[in-house]
Amino acid sequence: MKKFVSMLLGLLAAAPMLSCSGDTTPSGRFVVAASFYPVYIIAKNVAAGVEGAAVVNITPPVTGCLHDYTLTARDMKRLEGANILLVNGAGMENFLGAVAEKHPSIRVFELSQGIPMLGGDEGANPHVWVAPGNMAAMTRNCARALAQADPVNAASYEKNAASYIAEIEALRKEMHGALDRYRGRPIITFHEAFPYFAAEFGLKIAAVIEREPGTEPSAKEVADTVDIVRKNKIKALFAEPQYPSSAAKTIARETGAVVYTLDPAVTGPDDNRAYIDIMRKNLAIIEKALK
């Protein structure tokens, strides 16, 4: 499957660009389509103020992670007239085959390429953007992709990317200054969105509450997590705003731990600063939880 997706991406990347057309894409000489929210925020920053460039998110902003997501007719319509499709990659988008079938000429670029993957028996974990260092790397990849596809504005894309990366790196430095003292501290997260974040800041994910996205944990899984919380004397559980927190609250009642909310930045406002603001709020929450 991985070999097929890699081959597909290569074929799509080599294909010629489409011209801008279609009544559901923004007007502009060069239209950038993004697969979902974090990729969209990156693209908006890199293409900001570039004359003739427009960015569209092909999936609804409340979609969240694209686990088992199937593109709708409306999503496909948003791809009409797009010159390039930016995706997260690492297995996040399982609909690339449908895109190739409906829009065989569109260029596809994977923003996670070159980032060392974390994962296990089920393959790579695709939530790379949750670590600020990886978000910076994805921004560099975005600038490179847009510069190749729209060379007339290459300098503008590179300049915008450098500016956004400087903001991310400043945030990253601030977060390390606050969190490095907690290196090695075990935490419980809601689902597999935070391994890259934990790796960046030296935190240890002792357990994940919802092992299968969108599926409530079984009674045994809840009991196992309760045992881990008690054994490690964990005082904080981290839920996510995109999912119900009932299982986390059950574990909290059994252990006396407190439930906090960490946002993996898969949904949010249509604002270029959204990722920075979300991560700064996460920092304040983690500091409160771990003190």
pLDDT tens, 103-156? Answer: 998 999 999 999 999 986 578 999 999 999 999 999 999 999 999 999 999 999
User: What sign results for the dihedral spanned by CA atoms 89, 262, 196, 47?
Assistant: positive
Instruction: Give the model's confidence band at 242: pLDDT under 50 very low, under 70 low, under 90 confident, else very high.
Output: confident
Residue 27 is predicted with a pLDDT of 56
Q: Which residues pair with 260 in a beta bridge?
A: 238
State how far the Cα of 277 lies from the Cα of 285, in Å rounded to an integer: 13
Which pTM was predicted? 0.88
pLDDT at 20: 31
Cβ partners under 8 Å of residue 78, min gap 6: 24, 25, 33, 56, 57, 58
- How far is residue 139's CA from residue 164's CA, in Å, rounded to a whole number? 8
Fold assignment, 179-290? Rossmann fold (3.40.50)
With b for 16 or more beta-carbon neighbours within 10 A and e for fewer, the 250-265 pattern comes to bbbeebebebbbbbbb
For CATH 3.40.50.1980, the residue range(s) in the chain are 2-173, 179-290
Q: What is the mean pLDDT of residues 39-53?
A: 97
The amino acid that residue 53 corresponds to is A
Beta-strand relationship, 204-208 and 258-261: unpaired
Banded model confidence at residue 214, pLDDT cuts 50, 70, 90: low
CATH topology of domain 2-173: Rossmann fold (3.40.50)
